[in-house]
A and B are shown apart, each in its own frame.
Chain A
Amino acid sequence: MTDSLNKIPVEVALYESSEKIYPRETKGRFQRWRMLCVYMLLGLYYALPWVQWGDRQAILFDLPARKFHIFFLTFWPQDFIFLTLLLIMAGLLLFFATALAGRVWCGYACPQTVWTEAFIWMERWVEGTRAQQMKLTAAPWSFTKVRKRVTKQFLWLTFSLFTGLTFVGYFQPISQLFVDFFSWELTGWGLFWVLFYGFATYGNAGFMREQVCKYMCPYARFQSAMFDADTLIVAYDADRGEPRARGSRRKDESSENKGDCIECGICVQVCPTGIDIRDGLQYECIACAACIDGCDEVMDKVGLPRGLIKYSTDALDKGSEKTLLQTLIRPRVIIYSILLSVIAIGFVTALSMRGNFLVDVLRDRNAFYRYSEQGEIQNTYQIRIMNKSQTTQLYMLDMRGLEGATAVWTKSSEPGVSREVGAGEIGEFSITVSLPETADYKRSQTIELLFSETVGDNVDTIVEPARFWGPRDVSR
């Protein structure tokens, strides 16, 4: 490290004795992209729970009702496999992106980056530039310092609370949540999770920042396994930059020995993780490209070509002649894309073939069988029908597998009657299977209960096995 960089004031924080990093603001093409991503992701996060779909919230992980709504799809606990597949796909996508473009995820999309960025904006807005912030920290407590610190904390806390509220709004209807919250009527677990998530945001984005990446993030540790010589990284061109020269040495026309790096330290000042990219690729680097923009600006000013720090690959640095296409298409990338497509196709197929309803059959636990007034042998079953579709449905009942037996919804005399279940609801019914005493039966046999949809063009039938008990084995 160079001496000039060690003069950063130390703010000893509770969690760590390392120095607080005051990243310097940069403007430049990559930072514009980053800002765009951050704005978009923040916007999505805060806006999505307010989107309506029909008469419900479009995205609602309705935990109390054990149903997940995502636009026109509704997932039930029985659809757990879909959630698993989604998570696997998300993981593979991350691998894929990493193999292609290095840590783009970290620099542009990770919530840690996004919220930290938002917190840094608020900090800059109240306390000013990097230099002003550092001066403020070093300054003795005064009215201005207190005012600025209080304002910053107020902004941070409000924003965190709002983030927490929005988070819980993904799990319970958000408009009601806001009403409850602002009328002080939110209690219990809802309130707990609002505060919990708000506090986590505050801690992670306000204080821990780059330390989350350094010490806590699993991705930061294993991303090296997904890197190879063709992975895009942020790199300093040492051949061009070294030896570094500044001040009088640079002005000294006679000196041959000067590289393009003018040792201004900007690349280190802008780095949100506080590293010096000129020391080579380090696992702390989140590939945010702030140092590229910072350095380009400096190069423009001193009239040297841009790109002393740039997106590059290890192979390119070593003088590889590969074209972009050759760099993109390599076994690792192909394997990830094949895996990803296979799972994605499987996911969509399974989703489209997913039935519209589910049936649970439970035997009545109180008695194996009983006799009706007409002397028939009767078994009763508890039925739960989950209508997973978006429309109300009528279900018909039938049975097979036992000669002479009939199945009816309990308390309805004629067969052929159907039962109604609303869209996305669970209906609980009871059915009775009756067999004349005169028929053949065993003490226990398997029968099949048939449940059929009756509304719509694409009606499905579900066959559920059940056990039917009689008094003894009878064959005549």
Chain B
Amino acid sequence: MEKMDHKANKLITLGVVLWVSFLSAAVATMLFFATFDPVDLGDIATFPLSLDRMGGYSVGFLLFWLLLAVNSLAVIWLARRPNEPREH
């Protein structure tokens, strides 16, 4: 771990982000789709959207995942204050 180089460190960060957001997305998907049926959502969408259930769950999950991953990455990026010494 001591000798780990910068690139590896970044990859691990990315891995952690993807994994944590994956878990959160799974929880979000469960809560969301236990409450709403994707078929009904397709019916009341403001633009034409035909969703079968598997498609609905899958798209929902992937969207949650993307959103959470982007969010986490942004947090990591911004949380490192500009005046902190940079690692590279």
Contacts and interface: CB of A to CB of B under 8 A. Distances in A.
B35 interface: yes
B54 A215 contact: no
B15 A216 contact: yes
Contacts of B5: 17
B43 interface: no
A77 interface: yes
Contact of A189 (B11, B19, B34, B55): B55
Contacts of B3: 17
A64 B53 contact: yes
A143 interface: no
Interface in A14-62: 14-18
B53 A77 contact: no
Interface in A71-86: 77, 80, 83
B34 A216 contact: no
B54 A190 contact: yes
Nearest to B23: A218
A17 B3 CA distance: 9
Contacts of B45: none
A189 B54 contact: yes
A193 B55 CA distance: 11
Interface string B17-54: 00110000000001001110100000000000000111
Interface of A: 14-18, 63-64, 66, 77, 80, 83, 172, 188-190, 192-193, 208, 211, 214-216, 218
A195 to B, nearest CB: 13
A14 B34 CA distance: 39
A189 B58 contact: yes
Contacts of B12: 15-16, 211, 215
A192 B58 contact: yes
A-B interface, 8 closest residue pairs, ranked by CB to CB distance from nearest = A80-B34, A17-B8, A189-B54, A189-B58, A64-B53, A77-B34, A216-B19, A16-B8
Q: Interface residues of B: mostly helix, strand, loop or mixed?
A: helix
A66 B7 contact: no
B4 interface: yes
Given A15-B11, A16-B4, A77-B37, 14 more contacts: A17-B5, A18-B1, A18-B4, A63-B57, A64-B54, A66-B37, A77-B33, A77-B34, A188-B55, A189-B58, A211-B12, A215-B12, A216-B15, A216-B16
Contacts of B15: 15, 208, 215-216
Contact of B11 (A16, A80, A188): A16
12 contacts: A15-B12, A15-B15, A16-B4, A16-B8, A17-B7, A18-B4, A77-B33, A77-B35, A80-B34, A188-B55, A193-B58, A216-B16
A17 B4 contact: yes
Contacts of A211: 12
B14 to A, nearest CB: 9
Contact of A66 (B1, B11, B19, B53): B53
A208 to B, nearest CB: 8
B65 to A, nearest CB: 11
A60 B34 CA distance: 16
Contacts of A215: 12, 15-16
Given A17-B5, A216-B16, A64 B52 contact: yes
Contacts of A63: 53-54, 57
A83 B19 CA distance: 22
A17 B4 CA distance: 6
B53 to A, nearest CB: 5
Given A190-B54, A193-B58, A18 B8 contact: yes
Nearest to B7: A17
A216 B13 CA distance: 9
Contacts of A216: 15-16, 19
A69 to B, nearest CB: 16
Nearest to B35: A77
Contacts of B11: 14-16
Interface in B38-88: 52-55, 57-58
A306 B52 CA distance: 61
Nearest to A284: B1
Contacts of A192: 58
A211 B34 CA distance: 34
Given A77-B35, A215-B15, A215-B16, A188 B54 contact: yes
A83 B8 contact: no
Contacts of A193: 58
Q: Could you say which of B3, B33, B58 has the most chain A C-beta atoms within 10 Å of its C-beta?
A: B58
Nearest to A200: B22
A192 B55 CA distance: 11
A425 to B, nearest CB: 16
Nearest to A215: B12
Contacts of A17: 3-5, 7-8
A189 B52 CA distance: 11
Nearest to B22: A200
Contacts of A83: 30, 34
Contacts of B7: 17
A90 to B, nearest CB: 14
